[in-house]
């Protein structure tokens, strides 16, 4: 920051200020013997902060700089050095306590090497866990539909199988389906044992091969005899049910049993609920890494005003001419006041001469600066 109490071209402004003070004394009936003017100039200081891997890294700064129309020359640089090291913390995900944790011993971040310094562990119990489970089952007409069923599910954290009960949510029609083994019908063969192998089933003649009861091609006969509809019933097997006997009419008979399936209404029952999951011991790790030591360097660069002044451009000369005219106008105004004593005229003349002398001296100084 630049701190200037006085510039090279402010002598005219100071002179006008002095004239104003003197004018006040004259108007009051007294005259000051002298006016004190300060021409001191201060230095320019700039501060730079940077990092380095070693404490002796010194930067180069320009020997000469220009600022606000002034030229400054490098006077000196002082350095302040302090060591610094950055720390990075990396936190793991929530883990089950039994899971291993193996952090990297070294990591690189922004081309800097960090080494593991410390690992901190947080532990807690994860409780109150539940898992929502849905399931459905099919039931045939006549079957009992339970209010609850036992289901199993996988624990999302451990992967283990957990069982529990869930309740019935709703039951809806699901069309029809075969109830396996629901059909059982009696069959009586008349004229059993004749040489032709022809038997009578309720007036329907069927032929058996190798004395084996059969229903192929005769299924509709067996169903019809028992009053069953072919659309809703089907025979899948038939076996002898006892040995041959004589009926009341003296005919040889033998009984058989036909089994099969029944087509019934089907219902889908949906179950849903939450099953309790076991509490878990949980852990979370935070690994702290520290970088290699670096150095924070603060450079204080001091510049002093250069003895060689910058050349004054035409704009500055025009401003000085305007100041000169303002000075003369002020003095002329003082000489015209009727309330001023006659002695004021002499003093005003002296001031005019002094002003002109200062102006001439300044022009001579400027001339010498341009030649230099």
| Whether 243 and 140 share a structural domain | yes
Question: Do the domain assignments include residue 122?
Answer: yes
pTM of the model: 0.44
Question: Do the domain assignments include residue 66?
Answer: no
| Mean per-residue pLDDT over the chain, rounded | 78
Instruction: Decide if pLDDT at 215 tops 70.
Output: yes
Q: Which domain holds residue 212?
A: 130-276
Instruction: Decide if pLDDT at 7 tops 70.
Output: no
Residue scoring higher pLDDT (41 or 111) = 111
Question: Do the domain assignments include residue 23?
Answer: yes
The total number of residues written for the chain in this structure: 372
| Whether 150 and 269 share a structural domain | yes
pLDDT at 334 (0 to 100): 52
| Whether 113 and 212 share a structural domain | no
349: enclosing H helix or E strand: helix 342-371
Among 244, 276, 308, give the residue marking a domain's end. 276
Average pLDDT over residues 274-291: 96
DSSP state of 211: T
| Whether 96 and 142 share a structural domain | no
pLDDT at 321 (0 to 100): 65
Average pLDDT over residues 306-324: 60
Question: Do the domain assignments include residue 309?
Answer: no
Question: Do the domain assignments include residue 78?
Answer: no
Question: Do the domain assignments include residue 57?
Answer: no
Tell me how many domains the chain contains. Answer: 3
Q: How far apart are the first and last CA of the chain?
A: 29
Average pLDDT over residues 241-261: 90
Question: Do the domain assignments include residue 211?
Answer: yes
pLDDT at 196 (0 to 100): 62
CA dihedral 137, 142, 144, 145 (to 10 degrees): 40
| Whether 18 and 121 share a structural domain | no
Question: Do the domain assignments include residue 53?
Answer: no
For residue 25, give the nearest of 303, 336, 348 by alpha carbon: 348
Instruction: Decide if pLDDT at 314 tops 90.
Output: no
| Whether 338 and 201 share a structural domain | no
Q: Where residue 220 falls among pLDDT bands split at 50, 70, 90? A: confident
pLDDT tens digits, 323-346:
666 656 655 665 554 444 344 444
**Angle between helical axes of 342-371 and 314-336 (0-180°, round to 10):** 170
| Whether 115 and 238 share a structural domain | no
| Whether 116 and 180 share a structural domain | no
| Whether 92 and 24 share a structural domain | no
pLDDT at 367 (0 to 100): 47
């Amino acid at each position: 920051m630049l701190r200037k109490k006085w510039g090279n071209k402010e002598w005219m402004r100071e002179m006008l200020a002095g004239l104003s003070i003197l004018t006040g004394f004259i108007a009051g009936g007294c005259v000051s013997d002298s006016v004190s003017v300060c021409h001191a100039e201060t230095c320019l200081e700039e501060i730079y902060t940077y990092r380095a891997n070693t404490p002796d890294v010194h930067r180069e700064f320009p020997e000469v700089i220009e600022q606000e129309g002034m030229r400054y020359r490098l006077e000196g640089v002082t350095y302040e050095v302090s060591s610094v090291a950055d720390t990075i913390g990396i936190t793991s995900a929530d883990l089950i306590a039994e899971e291993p944790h193996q952090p990297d011993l070294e990591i690189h971040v922004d081309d800097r090497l960090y080494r593991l310094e410390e690992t901190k562990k947080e532990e807690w119990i994860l409780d109150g866990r539940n898992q929502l489970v849905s399931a459905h089952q099919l039931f045939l007409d006549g079957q009992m539909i339970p209010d609850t069923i036992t289901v199993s599910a996988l624990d999302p954290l451990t992967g283990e199988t957990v069982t529990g009960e869930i309740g019935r949510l709703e039951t809806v029609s699901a069309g029809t389906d075969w109830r396996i083994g629901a059909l059982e019908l009696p069959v009586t063969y008349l004229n059993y044992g004749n040489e032709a192998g022809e038997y009578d089933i309720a007036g329907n003649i069927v032929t058996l091969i190798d004395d084996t009861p059969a229903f192929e091609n005769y299924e509709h006969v067996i169903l019809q005899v028992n009053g069953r509809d072919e659309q809703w019933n089907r025979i899948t097997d038939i076996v002898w049910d006892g040995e041959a006997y004589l009926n009341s009419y003296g005919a040889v008979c033998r009984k058989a049993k036909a089994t099969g399936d029944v087509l019934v209404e089907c219902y889908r029952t949906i179950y849903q609920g939450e099953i309790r999951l076991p509490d878990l011991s949980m852990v979370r790790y935070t690994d702290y890494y520290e970088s290699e030591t670096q150095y924070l360097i603060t450079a204080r660069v001091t510049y002093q005003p250069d003895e060689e002044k910058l050349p004054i451009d035409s704009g500055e000369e025009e401003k000085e001419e305007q100041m000169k005219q303002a000075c003369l106008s002020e003095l002329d105004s003082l000489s015209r006041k009727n309330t001023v004593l006659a002695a004021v005229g002499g003093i005003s003349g002296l001031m005019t001469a002094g002003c002109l002398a200062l102006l001439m001296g300044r022009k001579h100084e400027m001339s010498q600066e341009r030649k230099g």
